[in-house]
Structure 1
Amino acid sequence: MSKSSQKRERTWLLNPFHSNGTIKRVPELEDEMVDPPEMVDKNVFDRVFGSLLGLAIGDALGASVEFRPQRFLVENRVTDLQSGGTWGLNRGEFTDDTSMALCLANSLVACRDFIPYDQLVRYKWWFRNGYMSSTGNCFDIGKATKKSLLEFEYRQVTFSKEHRIPIDQMDYLHDPKLLRLFDVDCSEQGVAGNGALMRLCPVPLFFYRNPKYAVRFSGASARTTHGDRIAIDACRYYGALMVAALLGENIDDLLDSNFYVKHQNWFNNEPLHDSVMNIVGGSFKKRGGYAEGIRGKGFIIHALEAALWALWANKDSFERGVLAAVNLGDDTDTTAAIYGQLAGAIYGFHGLPKKWRDIIYGRNYIECLSRWIVHDGERWSLEKTQGYFPDLMTSSKQHTDTIIRTVPEDQTPPEDVSSSRSLSKYSSDKTAENSRSYHRTPSEPLHSTAFSANRKPSPTSEIGKPYTRFHDRDYTPANDPSSMPGYSMEGLETCEDVSKWLRSLDKAFANYVSGFETNLVDGFWLLNHVTNESLLKYGVKKREHQEKILNEIRKIQHRIDEKRFKNSNQTRL
């Protein structure tokens, strides 16, 4: 096949923009995409499609209750896909987990290779333009990912000036000599959140025929945004599990405490971090689940352990396993998305519940993309990657040994000092559990608040950051003045804090305290999700009382905006 024919087949990947500069939505790209010219192995395709769609199903199931604590889910268990909730999504729509995974998969197919620079470009398109988003916007992004993408943009601007490349051509850089000069490791040190793991599966799915490189690239895929050795090794291990699943190993083989020893050559005989080896050894095998310490948290070790627990405790059912992952609470969508990647590869597409697989947003796109992953993965050549990034072919030990160790090797870090969080050791447990940050809130307009990249002021436009908690999958230095969640600035962290605030507004409002507490309205929920409709649910029926409460919330939001603007300007000085 000629190069021109190959290019025509991939126009939906090579240029996802309209002539007016707006991004094409997934349904539009579905109309443009074509299947590969050759047939692909049906059994392999079933597992690849199952893994990608399993990720999306887990993400969509958890999206409606994202941030909700486990005690809330005890009384309100998730049993099916639903609309509304945290982000106000339609049934079957997904969040950043699936969007970033699709960006990564698109890059592998577009380049027919592992090119981290192109991966970052596509993440940037998602962040700035809503590429691969189920809503057409980037509504959900972790702070570590955001900072890494801002750093990437800064490096693009600097690189374009140094090498006299027009800035509008930087997203289409393909010269191997230039790509070798561009530093794609945009993460800060100490970043070990679950954001690297949630998007991983396209890499092992594409390279599974070459286990050593599948494992190596799984680790390298984390480095662009999450540079801690723990994050890299967690991705290497989980990538190896997916390779083994595609090669036909069963669940017991995958969850064997000797898995690393039996597949040591896949890891190039490079040891895994002790916290990852603890999971390999079976730390997730706890019948009591949540009661015995399994948590769906943002630290990558907690997330990995939770996903494997859901798989181990529900070996014969994708449906039970993914719902178990969601109902752990907290980072519900990501825990379930991580579970769905591996479980989908094990059970295959036909092993996924039909009631869910047919209503996932972009289902046809994911199906065709899966065919391309199988097709191009079969034809991948090592020589091309060596030409682009020879360092990826050598030991990763040099890179990982330079990363600051953020937790003791012999133990899992306490929640409020884990390497994935920006909180100091003096932060409350409540704040540590719920720390999050997003590009916009689900039910409030975007408020313009200043934000700066950690290393250098970014030359790009500032990013609005509302009042939400920081992504658990992120890390920010504790002395960053922008790192405190908005509700913490106002002393509104717990349900009790909200109840006290409510009583302070008016004596008559004491009657509403029980309604707020019953619905677990903490500071985050108050500042991001309270509306006239929800106030009715909490028992606030008088219109004037609703307006007063909402007006006071707006005042708090305004104060947070002013504090953040002041702090971010001080950061630049």
Structure 2
Amino acid sequence: MIDLNKSTLDVTEYAYKYNYLLPPPSPRVSTSRRYVEPDWLQSRVSTLTESQSLNRAKGALLGLAIGDAVGTTLEFLPRDTKCIDDMSGGGPFKLKPGEWTDDTSMALCLAETYLKHHRFDLSDYLDRLCQWYMQGRNSVNGVCFDIGHATRNALDGWLSKGLDWIGNLDPNTAGNGSIIRLAPTAIFRRHSLSSTWRDAQSQSRATHRAAEAISGCELLGAILHLALNGADKAEMCQPMVRPLQPRATLINAGEYKQKTRDQIRSSGYVIDTLEAALWAVWNTENFKDAILLAANLADDADSVAAVAGQLAGALYGVSGMPEDWVARVAWSDNIQKLSRQLHDLAPATDTFETSGV
């Protein structure tokens, strides 16, 4: 194992041992005006009934909100300053139990974009994010009270320059702001890994264009694709052939499975957040324990738990969540309604269409 916060050179050299998880360069081949996807982009055939599929779809988005709401209590605190065992509220924003932060607000904006256009539309999504940023759209209390630096920078750029804005390409901007909101993409594109992969990239580029931020979204999207189509935990967390950045490749390889709690970081860095969320899900057997293990890592606790909530929710479904959490999380009925709409509108064919970068 290697500490993923080692230098890029050290991590890249170490990652050579997992080169077998990187596909050979092979652009899509055109055959009679149709494109043949490489093997690694082939979708998982669903083994779920419609009701089981909807259960997992609801779980992915509601799990995001629940993780966000549980984790906010410990947001920004050093690890083990305090421990939680329930949805308690409070935290730096003094929220009521069940209220959530920017993670969920951005996810709801993303869901609305899909429902309006039946595809990802960059301009529409950025407009909705700006309405959240400036006017409190999809905020639990009507105010944008929590926003990451990279997200703020991107939205300010969109407001001032529109599509001419180019930024957040620097590796130091690879925060977790685009993986924390990904569930709507995975649900809407659940029939197609290819479309999930590309939409994961596109929605990340709206605010986070650093290579590792995009790679984190690609990997999380691929994992959610497996879970939403019936994978159990072992299959969901198995290494996959994927063209990923070196640190994301090491997460994909499953090195987190051998790490102890002290070796897991829970910062706002996309790599730390994704590794911590997967570690929490891997080391537990149910939704509640996964969320509490993730949240009690502290630091960027709400985001780590929100990503763990997407994963555990897609794995165990809304039926596997504590009933009192489902009842208490803010906007529960609306979030489940959006999940159902995304699920039911999901294109049945393995196609990809987007508007924007």
Band of TM-score, shorter chain: 0.7 to 0.9
Paired position in structure 1 for 2:7: none
| Percent identity for Structure 1 against Structure 2 | 36
Change (3 A) 1:183 1:252: farther
CA contact (8 A) 2:192 2:349 kept: no
Letter in 1 for 2:223: L
- Separation in 1, partners of 2:303, 2:349: 30
Which of residues 46, 64, 86 is equivalent to 1:55? 64
Confirm or deny: 8 A CA contact 1:192 1:300 kept in the other structure: yes
Amino acid at match of 1:121: D
Distance in structure 2 (CA, Å) of the matches to 1:183 and 1:210? 31
Given candidates 70, 81, 87, the residue that maps to 1:81 is: 87
Deviations 1:343-374 (A, max 9, x none): 10010010111120111111111111111101
Alpha carbons 2:59, 2:316 under 8 Å: kept: yes
Secondary structure of 1:86's aligned partner: coil
CA deviations 1:127-185 (Å, max 9, x no partner) are: 001011011100001111001000000124xxxxxxxxxxxxxxxxxxxxxxxxx4576
Alignment of 1:15-414 (within 5 A): 41-72=50-81, 76-156=82-162, 182-183=163-164, 187-190=168-171, 191-256=173-238, 259-261=239-241, 264=242, 271-286=243-258, 288-289=260-261, 291=262, 293-314=263-284, 316-378=285-347, 382=351, 385=353, 388=355
| CA deviations over 1:19-75 (Å, ceiling 9, x no partner) | xxxxxxxxxxxxxxxxxxxxx932221111111111111100111221111130xxx
1:382 shift after superposition: 4.2
1: CA distance, partners of 2:321 / 2:154: 34
Calculate the TM-score normalised by the size of structure 2.
Answer: 0.82
Name the CA distance, whole Å, in 2 between partners of 1:136 and 1:305.
32
- Which stretches in structure 1 are left out of the alignment for 5+ residues? 1-39, 157-181, 265-270, 393-573
Q: Which runs of 5+ in 2 are unaligned?
A: 1-48
- State the alpha-carbon separation in 1 of the partners of residues 108 and 248 from structure 2: 26
Q: Deviations over 1:375-408 (max 9, x none)?
A: 211368947x36x45xx6xxxxxxxxxxxxxxxx
Structure-1 separation of matches of 2:229 and 2:340: 17
How far does the alpha carbon of each residue in 1:68-107 deviate from its partner, in whole angstroms, 9 at most, with x for none? Answer: 11130xxx21100113232111110000011101111111
Tell me the distance in 1 between the aligned counterparts of 2:64 and 2:295: 12
CA distance in structure 2 between the aligned counterparts of 1:234 and 1:207, rounded to whole angstroms: 17
TM-score (normalizing by structure 1): 0.52
Listed one character per residue, the Cα deviations across residues 395-434 of structure 1 (whole Å, up to 9, x for unaligned) are xxxxxxxxxxxxxxxxxxxxxxxxxxxxxxxxxxxxxxxx
CA distance in 2, matches of 1:233, 1:222: 9
Which secondary structure state, in structure 1, belongs to the residue aligned with residue 202 of structure 2? helix
Q: Distance between the aligned counterparts of 1:142 and 1:45, measured in 2?
A: 31
Q: CA contact under 8 A between 2:189 and 2:195: conserved in structure 1?
A: yes
- For 1:234 and 1:381, the matched residues in 2 are separated by 22
Q: 1:557 maps to which residue?
A: none
CA distance in 1, matches of 2:348, 2:226: 20
2:210 aligned partner, one-letter code:
D
Deviation at 1:188, TM superposition (A): 4.2
Distance 1:318 1:381 in 2: 30
Higher CA-based Rg: 1
Bigger relative contact order (CA 8 A; separation at least 6)? 2
Alignment RMSD, CA only?
A: 1.8
| C-alpha distance in structure 2 between counterparts of 1:215 and 1:329, whole Å | 30
The count of residues paired between Structure 1 and Structure 2 equals: 308
1:152–1:186 Cα contact (<8 Å) kept? no
* 3-state SS, counterpart of residue 85 of structure 1: coil
